[in-house]
Amino acid sequence: MPITSLPSEDGQELTITIQGRFDFGAHQEFRRAYERVDIRPKRYTVDLKGTTYLDSSALGMLLLLRDHAGGDRAQIRLLNCNADVRKILSISNFEQLFQID
């Protein structure tokens, strides 16, 4: 499962793109996507357009990203969620923790 990260030109935002299944098998790759960048972004975007599956471990990984990004002060957007992913995020009340577009 490819996970990529791309900082904005001004270094203020980091976009993480997830393709395929977002589950425990992606844990290390997901953490590397935001921990091993040369910038300290103020905002994060997680693009889920190519995400076909998301489980409870993926929810945990998103919470770890939120902690890394500043907890309650974190600015994280989850973009391009398909209907199944959006349903899981909604059931988990993630719209209270993340901006979901």
51-72 pLDDT tens trace: 999 999 999 999 999 999 999 9
Q: Where are the beta strands (DSSP E) in 3-100?
A: 3-7, 13-22, 43-54, 76-79, 99-100
The pLDDT score that the predictor gives to residue 1 is: 58
Domain boundary assignment for the chain: 1-98
Fold of 1-98: Transcription Regulator spoIIAA (3.30.750)
**Residue 38: pLDDT over 90:** no
Other beta carbons within 10 Å of 32: 12
Phi, psi of 47 (to 5 degrees): -90, 115
Average pLDDT of 17-38?
Answer: 95
Rg of the chain over CA atoms, in angstroms?
A: 12
Strand arrangement, sheet containing 3-7: 3-7, 13-22, 43-54, 76-79, 99-100
Does 39 score more than 90 pLDDT? Answer: no
Averaged confidence pLDDT in the chain: 95
